[in-house]
Structure 1
Amino acid sequence: MSRDRAIDAMRVYAIGGVVLGHWLVTGLVLADDGGLHQASPLTALPGLAPFTWVLQTLGLFFFAAGFGSARSLAHHRGGAGGWLARRLRRLLLPTVALLGVGAAVLLAATVVGTPDDTLTVALRLAVSPLWFLVPLLLLVASTGPLRGAVRRWGLGRCVAPAVAVVAVGDLVVRLLPAGTQLPPVTVVAAWSVPYLLGVAHADGRLAGRRAAGTLAGGGVAALAALLALGYPASAVGVPGAGVSNLNPPSLLAVALAVAQVGLALLARPALERLLTRPLPHRAVTEANRSAVRIYLWHQPVLVSVTVLTARGGLTLPGLHTAPDDPGWVLARCCWLPLLAAVLVTVVRAGQPAGRPGKRRQPGGGGPTGRSAEYVPASPQVYDHRRSGPPDFQEVIAVRDSDPPSRGRADGQPR
């Protein structure tokens, strides 16, 4: 089965949005007692909210997950049970590794006397991204029935009930007291919309600029209407706000996902042309290969760098200071290259030792092995029968840096 490099590129953009977004909205303030407290620049700088529309890329993640799952299932030669077990294993093994390493690090930090506030923040940021496993596993396990439903009833009739469930959830959130826990059905319904778009696209639907333009225009129009109705402008949770668009996901989150998918499909021809070049192709390949580890480790890296630099007794702007002015954002941007370098080092260190790498052919030939050769089969299709990376990493997503909760924001520093 050939890989769709345009979808891979969309997934890479989503990964970049997740990492950059979290690193920019997660402030870790060093207190007088040496502990760290979580804060968000969105509280003091509400004008940054439009940037969250670009960096909150959950919609693209679930779209790529639906596309990859439907395409993989369609080409799988064995039973559906074996296919599902294979895909879940690719998700769960790195997650178990993170939990094991994280438990050991937290134990060591406790022994050396790390403040409780710092331990709480570290644990929250390490564990909170794992929220996506529940809706994602349910959607992946339902790929076959969802694909059949789209073929039988059409995409619109499959998406409409999910949107209705999210709308009811929005109404309930606004009527019930703050802090009321909602069942996870709203979360699954919201992210099933971009997932279904991915399933439909893998089945040959949503092709052409007209379909992509309809999604993009409809999503943008829905965003404008929802903002006019009083929905929060930020696509992620803001500490102290009465309602979050992401916890649980609201109609605005669904509209944003649809708009992002439409814009990404409009950009597909440009992505396909770009990926005929070796350097962009290689970058996309490597990022997709390490997507799960990038997702799981980007927040622990932020905490680790912040804690280790704080032990020197210095309060560094953008790293240990309160995110309450534009200067903090500028200073945090200056730290991004260091955070990226540490993340790359951690990700590479966690790669399986037995992975086939690039090998030179006898006599000075080109590289061989499944990750070495790039063969454009056509402007839109790339052949990886001899060299492409394994078809995984289609099934990850990320949440904003809110602590796990449902319904209204609780006002606690995050």
Structure 2
Amino acid sequence: MREPTTIRRAAVRIDAATPPGRDRAVDALRALAIGGVVLGHWLVTALVADGGALRAASPLGHMPWLAPVSWVFQTLAVFFMVGGHVATRGLASAHTRAGVHGRIHAGVHRTWLAARLKRLFRPVLAVLAVWSVAAAGLLLGGASFVTVHTVVKLALSPMWFLLVFAVLTAATPLLARLSPLWPLAVVLHVDLVRFGLGGPAWLGWVNVLAGWLVPYTLGAAWARGELERPRAAWTLLLGGAVTTAVLVGFAGYPASMVGVPGAAVSNLDPPTLAAVTFGLAQCGLALLLRDRLRRVMRRPLAWAAVALVNLSAMTVFLWHQTALMATTALGLLVGRLPGLHTVPDGPAWAALRLLWLPVFALVLGVCRAAFHGFESGGGRRTRRDRHGRSGADRRDRSRVVLTGGRRELVDARRARRD
């Protein structure tokens, strides 16, 4: 019998190091949501070389029949649902550890929130520093303002998500028992005023918070045990899908669930009622998949892959657009490459773009190696006790890092906090 490979042995160790009570389906859903966002951006974002400048374009503008791609890869609702679930449980656990029951303790909330926001925004510093230097270098090097504006806007576009997520996280004590029907009603009335009564366009920005509050509060309801029955998940899936189909088919909402340059209305910027009902359908499907994901996550290799994605979630999210742009810029040194610098106006471009995805992933891997330390807290070496555990191992939560095929345990109770 062949000896297990190094990767398999490492995966088995990661599996053994995971606390037995951890719901691995939560991590799997988070990984799928992040993967959907990354792949979606790589598939629908094109940087076209136009003379001496780069401009953004989308294949959805030239090929509307590709709209179903956005249905698969626009997975932010699932991410917000998981975020609401994790935050609600995490805050409750923090109060339990502090011996506070039945009420929100301001001190416990501040400590918990500070830790979460630190983990959210610490990786942002690296992105801002790199792109400040890059933008200045491009301008001094003679790049056009159009090019610099395009690439900086794309690189920093993920920041909006962090701001919204941070606000909802800070408000978790107020949102933990809020019914998703309330923010859904806000979105409905905002759209009625905007589109039905000719109200001001700026009113739609109310939906930036209200729209993502819907899946966030769904996650809180999940944490309270209110969405355990399949009936709830089926109601979300079928009700959300049918409502979205009616809105797209008869109310004039765009079929694409992401923004399309030049379109009169975007479902995502700001979120519309169609985007929110579509998110409800996605959340219903995610809830239906929980048991199946739990079974799959019992396999050490599958769980190790999901664990590593979750450990690098912020780095992957913040740097995936930079990976696309770095590949595009380096490609220009060779020439105008099809599927990378050309106008996304036909099936040939879409087929060629698929071939570029592994290259984007490789460059993202380089970014991950370079900047993951900002997400992990610098990976400082600490003194370990006779069991091989550091102080951080005992204080925080379990995190497994693969380095050179070997496993190291850092922050030993991180899994329980999230």
TM bucket, shorter chain: 0.7 to 0.9
Q: Name 1:266's counterpart in structure 2.
A: 288
Secondary structure class of the residue paired with 2:180:
helix
Match of 1:320 among 323, 326, 341: 341
Q: Deviations over 1:333-359 (max 9, x none)?
A: 1000010011011112212274389xx
Secondary structure class of the residue paired with 1:293:
helix
Letter in 1 for 2:147: T
Match of 1:204 among 189, 208, 225: 225
Letter in 2 for 1:18: V
Tell me if 1:238 matches 2:260.
yes
Match of 2:399 among 336, 358, 371: 371
Q: Deviations over 1:18-58 (max 9, x none)?
A: 0110011111110122x101111001100011121111011
| Residues 29, 78 of structure 2: 8 Å contact kept | yes
Tell me if 1:109 matches 2:130.
no
Q: Which has the higher contact order (CA 8 A, sep 6+)?
A: 1
Distance 1:132 1:74 in 2: 24
- Could you say if the C-alpha distance between residues 15 and 203 of structure 1 is closer, same or farther in structure 2, counting changes exceeding 3 Å? same
Q: How do residues 7-18 of structure 1 correspond to structure 2 at under 5 angstroms?
A: 7-18=26-37
| Residues 154, 321 of structure 2: 8 Å contact kept | yes
Q: Name 1:126's counterpart in structure 2.
A: 155
- Could you say if the C-alpha distance between residues 391 and 349 of structure 1 is closer, same or farther in structure 2, counting changes exceeding 3 Å? farther
Q: Percent identity?
A: 44
Distance 2:200 2:146 in 1: 22
Letter in 2 for 1:20: L
Distance 2:205 2:122 in 1: 24
Q: Deviations over 1:107-133 (max 9, x none)?
A: 222222223222111111012211123
Give the drift of 1:179.
8.8
Secondary structure class of the residue paired with 1:36:
strand
- Could you say if the C-alpha distance between residues 354 and 99 of structure 1 is closer, same or farther in structure 2, counting changes exceeding 3 Å? closer
Secondary structure class of the residue paired with 1:371:
strand
Q: Name 1:28's counterpart in structure 2.
A: 47
Tell me if 1:50 matches 2:68.
yes
- Could you say if the C-alpha distance between residues 129 and 372 of structure 1 is closer, same or farther in structure 2, counting changes exceeding 3 Å? closer
| Residues 219, 259 of structure 1: 8 Å contact kept | yes
Secondary structure class of the residue paired with 2:47:
strand
| Residues 67, 198 of structure 1: 8 Å contact kept | yes
Distance 2:333 2:356 in 1: 17
Distance 1:277 1:386 in 2: 23
- Could you say if the C-alpha distance between residues 253 and 322 of structure 1 is closer, same or farther in structure 2, counting changes exceeding 3 Å? same
Distance 1:334 1:387 in 2: 39
Give the alignment's Cα RMSD to 1 decimal: 2.8
Tell me if 1:61 matches 2:82.
no
Tell me if 1:340 matches 2:368.
no
Secondary structure class of the residue paired with 1:308:
helix
Q: Deviations over 1:78-118 (max 9, x none)?
A: 51111111111111111122111111121222222223222
Q: Which one is further off, 204-213 or 49-58?
A: 204-213
More helix per residue: 2
Q: How do residues 390-405 of structure 1 correspond to structure 2 at under 5 angstroms?
A: 390=415
Tell me if 1:217 matches 2:238.
yes
Tell me if 1:5 matches 2:27.
no
Secondary structure class of the residue paired with 1:16:
helix
Letter in 1 for 2:175: L
Q: TM-score, normalising length from structure 1?
A: 0.83
- Structure 2 portions without partners, runs of 5+: 1-18, 99-107, 387-392, 402-408
Q: TM-score, normalising length from structure 2?
A: 0.82
The ranges of structure 1 where at least 4 consecutive aligned residues each deviate by more than 6 angstroms after the TM superposition are 176-179
Distance 1:388 1:224 in 2: 44
Distance 1:129 1:105 in 2: 17
| Residues 285, 389 of structure 1: 8 Å contact kept | no
Match of 2:57 among 39, 42, 51: 39
Secondary structure class of the residue paired with 2:158:
helix
- Could you say if the C-alpha distance between residues 324 and 371 of structure 1 is closer, same or farther in structure 2, counting changes exceeding 3 Å? same
Give the drift of 1:135.
2.2
Letter in 2 for 1:68: V
Q: How many residues align?
A: 369
- Could you say if the C-alpha distance between residues 132 and 20 of structure 1 is closer, same or farther in structure 2, counting changes exceeding 3 Å? same
Distance 1:346 1:390 in 2: 24
Q: Deviations over 1:175-224 (max 9, x none)?
A: 68899333632211111110001011111120032221121111111112
Secondary structure class of the residue paired with 1:322:
coil
- Structure 1 portions without partners, runs of 5+: 151-157, 363-368, 374-383, 395-414
